Amino acid sequence: MRAAHITSHGELDQLTIGDVSDPKPASDEVVVEVAAAALNHLDIWVRKGRPGLTLTFPHVLGSDATGTVAETGAGVDSSLKGRRVVLNPGLWCGHCEWCLRGDHSECSTYSIVGLGRWGTFSQRVAVPAVCVSPAPEHLNAHEAAALPLAYLTAWRMLTTRGQLEAGETLLIHGIGGGVAIAGLQLAKLKGARVIVSSSKEQKLKRAGELGADDFIDYSKTQDVAAEVKRITNGRGVDLVLDTTGAGTWPINFASVRKGGRIVHCGVTAGKIAEVDIGALYWNHITVMGSTMGSQGEFQGLVAAVGAAKMKPVIDKIFPLAEARAAQERMETGEQFGKIVLEVSGK
């Protein structure tokens, strides 16, 4: 089968589009014929490699996909064949303390499709049957492929972790990335007021079209936290959704209200930061980490998206053969929404 894969870590020239062996489903797995797949920063980190990451090559990249179940393992209900599904890209053991509680993304051996096993940038992908859910009917293949990783990550950050309520105010940095936009769309579904920041006027405009309430252009504003305080009449926001990491850490502490919450899911702008413990305790601030989400959270997301007929935001669609150009676009940071690879298109 055709797949975007790597045979060693490195830059874009290490990404090959060529033939690899077809996957075979284990007893508890299904093979999905991929209609479309979507990009995440994780794919780039996996391509480049990082300390502690050991892969067996060749390795197929990609975590997000939608498609049709083509094969079922011996222990899986064969009536799943032919179903149009979306994948929860999480991989969990099913029997550790956290899995037994249903907190699958806290699993002691948690990994992700495209990281812990071959990914979705391919004509076929084998995944645990427990990870597939019916694709929302109002979404086409490109939109359904864009849903899993980014929207699941944002969903858990806003619900289980952030406990965002209607009428609360949320700050999202760097609107344009997949999780940031997902956070904006899902927070608006929940009835929150959302402040977004970007250095690009065009991205702020697009965020406004998605319902963002207030805008901070940090190419023009030196002090983002002061601007947040001005917008909130000196109070500060209830919650910050941060996908970027160390660069915005001090801004978050200066932007939340007393008793406010900060939830992190990424380190694209650095992973080591200093904490003002005085500000932390005096202001009753809660800082949380969050990764992906459980299967229960995934099903909650799919149901909420279906009920609201919400559509993921697509930046650009590339054919699988142009996976390099797609990753190149992601590395420029120019995108607004998800970058999608069309595979079969069906």
- DSSP 3-state assignment of 137? coil
User: Of these, 85, 99, 170, 330, which contacts Zn ion (CB under 5 A)?
Assistant: 99
Q: Provide the terminal-to-terminal Cα distance of the chain, rounded to the nearest Å.
A: 16
Stretch that binds Zn ion, among 15-23, 101-109, 267-275, 325-333 (CB under 5 A): 101-109
Q: Is the Cβ of residue 100 or residue 325 nearer to Zn ion in the bound state?
A: 100
CA 323 to chain centroid, in Å, comes to 18
Q: Name which of 50 and 95 has its Cβ closer to Zn ion.
A: 95
Residue 315 contacts residue 335 (beta carbons within 8 Å):
yes
Q: Which is nearer to Zn ion, 92 or 249 (CB)?
A: 92
- Pick the closer one to Zn ion by CB: 44 or 93: 93
Least distance between Zn ion and beta carbon 118 (Å): 21
Stretch that binds Zn ion, among 32-40, 100-108, 198-206, 296-304 (CB under 5 A): 100-108
Q: Which stretch binds Zn ion (CB under 5 A): 69-77, 107-115, 158-166, 170-178?
A: 107-115
Mark out the alpha helices in 127-257 (DSSP H runs). 141-146, 148-156, 178-189, 201-209, 224-231, 249-255
Q: Which residues pair with 124 in a beta bridge?
A: 33
Q: Which of residues 58-97 bind Zn ion (CB under 5 A)?
A: 92-93, 96
Binding to Zn ion (CB under 5 A): which residues in 231-250? none
Of 200, 195, 264, the residue nearest 230 (C-alpha): 195
Give how far Cα 147 sits from Cα of 29, 100, 135, 271, Å: 21, 26, 10, 26
| Shortest distance (Å) from residue 223 CB to Zn ion | 44
Nearest to 15 by CA among 111, 122, 89, 87: 122
The dihedral built from the CA positions of residue 273, 105, 2 and 322, taken in this order, carries a sign that is negative
DSSP code at position 218: T
Binding footprint of Zn ion, residue count (CB under 5 A): 5
Q: Of the listed pieces 98-106, 133-141, 257-265, 280-288, which binds Zn ion according to CB under 5 A?
A: 98-106
Looking at the Cβ atoms of 11 and 97, the one nearer to Zn ion is 97
- The smaller minimum CB distance to Zn ion, of residues 101 and 205, is found at 101
- Contacting residues for 254 by C-beta, under 8 A, at least 6 apart: 225, 228, 229
- CB nearer to Zn ion: give 249 or 298: 298
Structure tokens at 26: 């284990």
Q: State which residue, 123 or 290, has the beta carbon closest to Zn ion.
A: 290
Residue 302 Cβ, how far from Zn ion at the closest point, in Å?
Answer: 22
Give 27 or 108: the residue with its C-beta nearer to Zn ion: 108
Stretch that binds Zn ion, among 72-80, 103-111, 126-134, 199-207 (CB under 5 A): 103-111
3-state secondary structure of 227: helix
Q: With contact defined as beta carbons under 8 Å apart, do 169 and 238 qualify?
A: yes
Q: Of the listed pieces 105-113, 165-173, 259-267, 287-295, which binds Zn ion according to CB under 5 A? A: 105-113
CB 94 to Zn ion: min, Å? 6
Q: How far is the CB of 114 from Zn ion (least distance, A)?
A: 19
Half-sphere CA count of 323, side-chain side, radius 13 A: 30
Contact 344, 33 (CB under 8 A): yes
Among 34, 107, 187, 262, binds Zn ion (CB under 5 A): 107
Q: Whole-number minimum distance, CB 98 to Zn ion, in Å? A: 6
What CA–CA distance (Å, rounded) separates 184 from 171?
9
Given the rule CB under 5 A, which residues bind Zn ion? 92-93, 96, 99, 107
